[in-house]
Every structure is written in C-alpha cells, then in structure tokens.
C-alpha cells in the first residue's frame, strides 16, 4: 500500500470515531501510542533489537485481546508507560485512552497490526505521520492549527538561515516539530553528514525543543522519532519555556511562538467572584517585565542564543510598534544584536484568520559599546498579496524572490534593493517615533480598487484582531489608573 493510501486509510477511521465523541487530536494521539507499541514489537522480532518497554506493556500483550479485557489492559499500559523515563515517558506523557467503545478500539488495533511499519523507510513513515498532522490541523478550527506553520515558510526560513551540521538547533515553542525536521533535513544533506558519527550526533544531540502543551509534545516526539531523530532521551520536553532560566544556549533558534492575548490566570475573590490577574515573568536575564506573551518569548530567545548565534522568529505586528516594553526591547534588539532582516508575511497563510505576522532575523553579537545593527532590510511579502488556506495556499515559489534577495548568510553584504526589498539605516530607524518598525512603502491596491479587497471573513478577522489589541491597551491604562 502506498503512503497516500495508508494516510487515507488511517485517517478515514477518524470519522468513525468522531461519531463516538473522539476528537481528531485525540484520535491522532491514540494512533501515536499504538504505532509506537507496534514498531517496538517489530524492531524486536525483525531487527533483533531490545524492547524499550516493560514486558507487560508490549504489543503481543495487546494485539490478541478484544472487548473489555483489551480496554482494561490498554488503559493500564498507558498509565504505566506514562511513568517511564526517557523517550518512552515523553511519547506517553499524560497518556490516557480516549476510546470508550472496546469494539472500536479493537478495530484500531487491527488497523495498526495490519501493516509492517518497520519495513517502511524513514521518509515514508515520516510523510505518513506528517500527513496526519496536517490533516488534523486543517480539520480542527481551533487548537491544533495554532501549532502548524506553513511548510513553504519553514523551508524558506531554514534555507536562508542555512544551519551547519555541527550546530545546535532549538525551538522553544516546538509544536509538532516542523522547524526541527526542516533543519534536520537540510543538515543531513550536507557533506559533513556523510560521517556516521556526525550524523548520529545530529540525530541524538543537536536538535531540541520545548512546548507547554503535553499532547503536542507527544505528537512532536513521535513525529521526530518516525524521522529517525532522538535516542534514548527525547529531543523535546514539556515545559513552559518562559520559566526556564539556565545555562543552555544554542547556535540557531527557529520558532513560531504562540500568538494570543496577554498571559493571565483566574483567582477567586473572598466574595466568590472571579478576577483575572496578569501573569508577568520576572527573570534576571529579561530586560523588561511584561505580561505580553510575544515580547517574553522574544526576550527568552535573545537570552538563549550563543554569541555568534542566529535566530529566525515569527512574531505578530504589535511587537514592531507597541510602546513601553515593546520599544525598550526593540532598542535592545537593534543595539546589542544584528537585527538585519524583517520579512513581512501576508495574511491568510495561518489557520487563525487575519493574523498579521513577520519573521525577525537577527544574530547575537559579542558584548560591546557600539550599536550592532547597521541597517535593517525589510522584505514586503504582504502588500497586494492574497492567500487562503485552500483556494490559494502559500507555495514555495511565492518565497523564491525573498530567498534570492536574502543572499544567504555569507553573501548578505551583496544585497540589492528591489520593489519589495529595501534597506533602512539604523540612524533613520532611531529617529522614528517609539522606534516603530512597522515599515511599509508599497501602495495598497485595495485602497483604490474595490476588487482588490480581501474576502469578507478575512476583513472581519482582521477587525477582531485590531479590537482585541485595542482592548488590551485600554485594560492596561485602566489597571494603571486603578493602581493610582
């Protein structure tokens, strides 16, 4: 059976389970558990490798069972494996059975048991699983889609960053591992990867990530595992990256942190009412203390970069123009880092409608008294560009001109301006009000041509985003007035 047919077969059963109240995300989790159990059994039988699992948790204790005995045993297996160390514990992190009908669980076990997965090469297994992840992100209106960055964008970012085989690559908001997989695919094709020790080190030690959502960490760990990444210790872990202040630092940071409202938590007052308290991260290595999630991620990334390291970070527009903490952080970014490139992304490429985002490219310089950013080059891929997830999705060809304009990490000094690519010297940026870096110069055709307007749902989503941003600002002002 070819990989497309296998994806379709595995995915079609999700629709059966959906009627039983099993969400697409939960279904994908159950597929992950059973697939790993089956592959562990195949590695032992066909390749002579030692099993990673306790004897009472292996596939041969599950496959023969049916009905309620299967349901009871499967739940016990998940509970036990969730407590295991290393890769197994990560793959089964907080695992529980979401399939309450024993007959349907039995059908799913038979579905997995009907294929010899270890006989498929790594690229095929990885493609099958990525196909399921992509379908999940597309089917779910909220939740899963936020962890899915368009593959053409990921591949373009990795191509211009050009990580070397010996460099460490980290994603502090790893999602399902898209950036790590693209970096791995890029690095394993390099000349140095022909050395088996170098390739093994790349697979086991040089790629890492964190995510705050346990279910996503499981999916990511499985995705990486099926691509041959990760040894006894999982390359990803479940954690709040913004709470991690340590000594770890990395050569390359590639990430798309979650967008959204300022961080807060609920408290119950003495009278029984509920208040929302803003959650600020207080860290010695942070320049500002703020509840703005995106600014905190940007600070975290700046703090974990090695000197000489580089980063490519997807950030919403407000990071470029907000005053206060935003302005302070932009000044530090321009002064202490070489913030050399800004890619303005079009709307319609993310699963959340109306998102206005950018990619910030910057390098960490050695400490000095001088301003490290000589000039910021801005590429406008947004103005007069219209994309949708289904009718006109972003394609690799749409980013070819940006890649050519970027010139690669060794040829950035050879850049030439074009219609969409312009250079702004630091002296001119420093004169802008609040150091606003929300820079554009192309004429928007929709201002004079009604036919060029975005579709109504995109306009509505953009209005919602702008209203939420304005509301957050009013809340901040009200809080300050209340404190006085």
**Are 347 and 408 spatial neighbours (Cβ–Cβ below 8 Å)?**
no
Q: What is the pLDDT of residues 399-454, one digit of tens each?
A: 999 999 999 888 999 999 999 999 999 999 999 999 999 999 999 876 555 555 55
Going from N- to C-terminal start, the domains of the chain cover: 3-134, 144-470
The CA distance from 160 to 139, in Å, is 31
Burial of 273 (0-12, 13-18, 19+ CB in 10 A): exposed
- State residue 471's pLDDT score: 73
Scan for tokens 């699992």, then name that residue.
53
**Predicted pLDDT of residue 142:** 47
Q: What is the pLDDT of residue 136?
A: 76
Whether the per-residue pLDDT at 2 is higher than 70: the answer is no
Distance CA 458, CA 469 (A): 17
The neighbour count for residue 90, using CB atoms within 10 Å, is 25
Residue from 362, 372, 278 nearest 325 by CA: 278
Across the chain, mean pLDDT equals 86
- Assign domain 144-470 to its CATH superfamily: Vaccinia Virus protein VP39 (3.40.50.150)
- Distance CA(92)–CA(83), nearest Å, equals 8
Distance set, CA 271 to CA 267, 268, 274, 277, 479 (Å)? 11, 8, 9, 16, 21
CA–CA dist 301, 312 (Å, integer): 10
Q: At the fourth CATH level, which superfamily is domain 3-134?
A: N6 adenine-specific DNA methyltransferase, N-terminal domain (1.20.1260.30)
pLDDT tens-place string over residues 50-107: 999 999 999 999 999 999 999 999 999 999 999 999 999 999 999 999 888 899 899 8
Kindly indicate the confidence band of residue 472, based on its pLDDT and cuts at 50, 70 and 90. low
Question: What residues contact residue 442 under an 8 Å CB cut-off, 6+ apart?
Answer: 380, 383, 384, 419, 420
- Residue 382 confidence (pLDDT): 95
CA R_g for the chain: 24
């Amino acid at each position: 059976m070819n990989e497309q047919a296998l994806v379709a077969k595995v995915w079609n059963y999700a629709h059966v389970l959906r009627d039983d109240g099993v969400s697409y995300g939960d279904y994908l989790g159950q597929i992950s558990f059973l697939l790993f159990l089956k592959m562990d059994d195949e590695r032992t039988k066909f390749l002579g490798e030692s099993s990673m699992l306790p004897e009472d948790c292996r596939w041969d204790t599950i496959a023969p069972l049916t009905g309620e005995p299967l349901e009871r045993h499967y739940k016990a297996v998940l509970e036990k494996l969730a407590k295991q160390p290393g890769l197994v514990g990560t793959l089964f992190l907080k695992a529980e059975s979401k399939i309450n009908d024993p007959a349907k669980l039995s059908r799913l076990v038979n579905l997995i048991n009907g294929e010899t997965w270890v006989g498929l090469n790594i690229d095929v297994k990885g493609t099958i699983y990525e196909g399921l992840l992509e379908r999940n992100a597309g089917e779910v209106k909220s939740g899963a889609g936020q962890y899915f960055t368009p593959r053409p964008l990921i591949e373009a970012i990795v191509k211009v960053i050009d990580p070397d085989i010996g460099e460490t690559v980290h994603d502090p908001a790893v999602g399902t591992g898209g950036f790590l997989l693209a970096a791995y695919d890029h690095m394993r094709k390099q000349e140095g990867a022909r050395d088996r020790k170098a390739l093994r080190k790349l697979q086991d030690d040089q790629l890492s990530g964190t995510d705050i959502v346990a279910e996503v960490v499981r999916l990511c760990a499985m995705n990486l595992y099926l691509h041959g990444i990760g040894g006894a210790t999982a390359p990803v872990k479940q954690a709040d990256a913004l709470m991690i202040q340590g000594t770890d630092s990395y050569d390359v940071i590639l990430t798309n942190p979650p967008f959204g409202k300022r961080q807060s938590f609920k408290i119950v007052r003495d009278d029984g009412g509920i208040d929302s308290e803003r959650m600020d991260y207080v860290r010695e290595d942070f320049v500002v203390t703020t509840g703005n999630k995106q600014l905190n991620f940007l600070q975290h990334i700046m703090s974990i970069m090695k000197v000489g390291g580089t980063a490519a970070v997807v950030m919403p527009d407000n990071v470029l123009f907000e005053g206060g903490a935003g302005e302070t952080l932009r000044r530090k970014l321009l002064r202490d880092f070489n913030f050399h490139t800004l890619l303005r992304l079009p709307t319609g490429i993310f699963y959340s409608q109306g998102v206005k985002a950018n990619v910030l490219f910057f390098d960490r310089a050695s400490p000095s008294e001088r301003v490290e950013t000589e000039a910021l080059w801005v590429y406008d891929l947004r103005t007069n560009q219209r994309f949708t997830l289904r009718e006109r999705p972003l394609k690799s060809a749409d980013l070819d001109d940006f890649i050519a304009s970027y010139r690669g990490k060794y040829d950035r000094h050879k850049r030439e301006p074009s219609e969409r690519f312009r250079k702004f010297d630091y002296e001119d940026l420093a004169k802008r009000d609040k150091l606003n870096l929300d820079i554009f110069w192309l004429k928007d055709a929709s201002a004079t041509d009604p036919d060029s307007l975005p579709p109504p749902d995109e306009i509505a989503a953009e209005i919602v985003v702008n209203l939420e941003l304005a509301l957050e600002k009013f809340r901040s002002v009200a809080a300050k007035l209340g404190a006085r």
